[in-house]
Structure 1
Amino acid sequence: MNDQLTMFKDLTEAKGISGNEREVREVMRQYIKPYANEVYTDHLGSLIAKKIGQVDGPKIMVAGHLDEIGMMVTRIDERGYLSFQTIGGWWSQVMLAQRVTVMTSKGDLVGIVGSKPPHIMPAEARKKSYEIKDMFIDIGASSKEEAEAFGVRPGDSIVPYFEFQPMKNEKLLLAKAWDNRIGCAIAIEVLKQLKDVEHPNVVYGVGTVQEEVSLRGAKTAAHAIQPDLAFAVDTGIAGDTPGISAKDSDSKIGQGPQIVIYDRSMIGHHDLRDYVLKVAEQHHIPYQYTAIPAGGTDSGSIHLTAKGVPSLSIGIATRYIHSHAGIIHRDDFDYTVQLLVEVIKGLNQETVNQITFS
């Protein structure tokens, strides 16, 4: 496995649901530190890596979010089963019988999402989706006291379990938490490729926290940085699987980054979008358009910082997001890094002023 695949593996297998991103933050810190002049965190825990091209140049923020969807222990019943609260958006049909990791004060525990078996359910109930409120986590404890002895307590994180795996077509990469470890990987690679490049900007590679619970970390990180322009890199819907029409999503994995023209949290900045498209066409970088009316990205918080920050979200088409496993195409990683690097190399104070004040 080469260095890039190892980075993908380390990032995606790290555990980090919203509000408990420490483990994945340390992985990102390890990979981005060699390419930054300074690495620090804000008070919520977002990681900020600063790379200076020109000290007084425009501040450009490239953000992926550290957190993944998961669950939190809310109660231990008398038989040792765990009740939980979902953290981030879950669809009940992808949860049943899935393996999870419960992060306790005494170490990690294996668990599984349990439910009543269909054999003893009424016929009408079997036709409906099983409700999340009726699910539980089985950690193999025989009592509440044994579960507590294992180290479990309310508030503990419950993280989906899945191992990183390149598929037979090695361009396709299967893993948990692509949403949004791929954005973190892109921020790392952008700083890496700018390490020995002269440009008149200060670039911030950021891993934000708590994106899945209303874009919270992006708000505090952006206030700490006060960027002039910002890019949020996140996953997007892939429309190349059975049952999805072009009207639902016409993006395909491997066909380049998605330029997000609209989502529930913001409208992509018109002039920044046009500048990015111009750079893509000049450098023959493929791209796709997308709109996400039912989802938001970190740009939704970043663009409202201080007097306003021209912002654009860039998506990586991903199959099966908000589940235990997703698939991305490695070319989309490369295309997105190339696009952001060329965009940053072309920016200067004059260009930023044109985008900001036009």
Structure 2
Amino acid sequence: MDNNLEMLKKLTEADGTPANEKEVRTIMKEYIKDYADEVYTDKLGSLIAKKVGKKDGPRIMVAGHMDEIGFMVTRIDENGFLSFQPLGGWSTGVMGAQKVTITTSRGNKFMGIINTTPSFVLSPEQKSKQANMKDMYIDLGVNCKVEAEMLGIRPGDMVTPYFEFSTMANPKYLVAKAWDNRVGCAIAIDVMKNLKNENHPNEVYSVGTVQEEVGCRGGKTSSHVVKPDIGISIDVGMAADTPGISKKDAIGDLGRGPQINIYDGSMVGHTDLRNFVVNVAEELKIPYQYAYIPFGGTDAGPMHTTLEGAPCIYIGIATRYIHSHAGIIHRDDYDNAVKLITEIVKRLDNDTVKLIIEGEE
């Protein structure tokens, strides 16, 4: 396994739900510290790595969020079964009989299984309906509440999907949990790595934000710290190359380049910045694809409305089976996103940023 795949493995296999990003932050800091002039956090826990190319150049913020969708333990019943609260958007159709990891406040980890009432005891009418999340529970494999408590499990503990990183039949297809959004964190690291010995005309901030899945909260606080002139949010995007998905519902095929998003539920993409990004991609013959999401949002939402505002764009990596235990991305999309964003940053000097903000005549 090459060094880049090893980094992706460590980032995706780390456990980190909203407000529990410490494990991910430690890994991201270890990988990015040698490429940055300074690494620090905001008061909510977002990691900010700063690299000065030209002092007093424009501030360019490249952000991916560290948190993943998961759950929080809310109650332990007398038989030791755990009730839970989802953190982020889940479909009950992908949850049943899946392994999860429960991480205690002491840092100990235990495996559990999500389940609900067995189907063979349900009526035909009940079987025809999708399971209700409130009826689901986590089976820890203990006899009683006391035994669970003796393990250190308590309400508020983090629960994450359990899944191991792996390459697939075609080794460019990579499967893991938490691509949403450790892929963004990894790209932010590699962009900073590419710029280490470059005399870029700006100040670059590679940021791993917290609590994106519950409202883009770290994107807001970190943007107030960085005060970006230009913002680039890196996140996953819906793939539309699997059976049953209409091209009217999603746009994005694995292996056809990073997604340049024109719209999502939190931001209408900045026209002049988008045109600039497309021009760079076409100049360098970097494959790309347009995309849009008519719902949801990314850290570009709070980023582009912070203080006086900043032109922002959301660049996505097409991902199959987002918001489930396992997602699939394509290695070429990752590599091309790193190349594209690196080249964008290298061209964002004061004059170019001014033209983007004011609009070219």
Category of TM-score, reference length = shorter chain: over 0.9
How far off its partner does 1:185 sit?
Answer: 0.5
How far off its partner does 1:247 sit?
Answer: 1.3
How far off its partner does 1:294 sit?
Answer: 1.7
- The match for 2:2 is 2
- The match for 1:38 is 38
- The match for 1:341 is 342
- The match for 2:176 is 175
How far off its partner does 1:153 sit?
Answer: 0.5
Q: Is the 8 A contact 2:251 2:292 kept in 1?
A: no
Q: Provide the alpha-carbon RMSD of the alignment.
A: 0.7
Whole-Å separation in 1 of the counterparts to 2:345 and 2:71: 37
Whole-Å separation in 1 of the counterparts to 2:49 and 2:162: 28
Whole-Å separation in 1 of the counterparts to 2:294 and 2:348: 30
Report how many residues are paired: 358
- The match for 1:93 is 93
Whole-Å separation in 1 of the counterparts to 2:265 and 2:247: 20
Deviations 1:44-99 (A, max 9, x none): 10000001101211100000000000000000101110000000000000000000
Whole-Å separation in 1 of the counterparts to 2:47 and 2:250: 32
Whole-Å separation in 1 of the counterparts to 2:58 and 2:318: 29
Q: Is the 8 A contact 2:212 2:219 kept in 1?
A: yes
Structure 1: unaligned runs, 5 residues or longer: none
Q: With the length of structure 1 as denominator, give the TM-score of the two structures.
A: 0.99
Q: Is the 8 A contact 2:13 2:177 kept in 1?
A: yes
**Percent identity for Structure 1 against Structure 2:** 59
Whole-Å separation in 2 of the counterparts to 1:101 and 1:341: 35
- The match for 1:212 is 213
- The match for 2:11 is 11
Aligned pairs (5 A) from 1:147-226? 147-226=148-227
How far off its partner does 1:200 sit?
Answer: 1.1
Q: Is the 8 A contact 2:254 2:333 kept in 1?
A: yes
Whole-Å separation in 1 of the counterparts to 2:292 and 2:39: 33
Secondary structure of residue in 1 paired with 2:292: strand
Secondary structure of residue in 2 paired with 1:102: strand
Which amino acid in structure 2 is aligned with residue 270 of structure 1? T
How far off its partner does 1:126 sit?
Answer: 0.3
Whole-Å separation in 1 of the counterparts to 2:12 and 2:351: 38
Which amino acid in structure 1 is aligned with residue 7 of structure 2? M
- The match for 1:125 is 126
Q: Is the 8 A contact 2:239 2:250 kept in 1?
A: yes
How far off its partner does 1:105 sit?
Answer: 3.0
- The match for 2:105 is 105
Deviations 1:239-266 (A, max 9, x none): 0001112212231011001111000001
- The match for 1:332 is 333
Which amino acid in structure 1 is aligned with residue 267 of structure 2? M
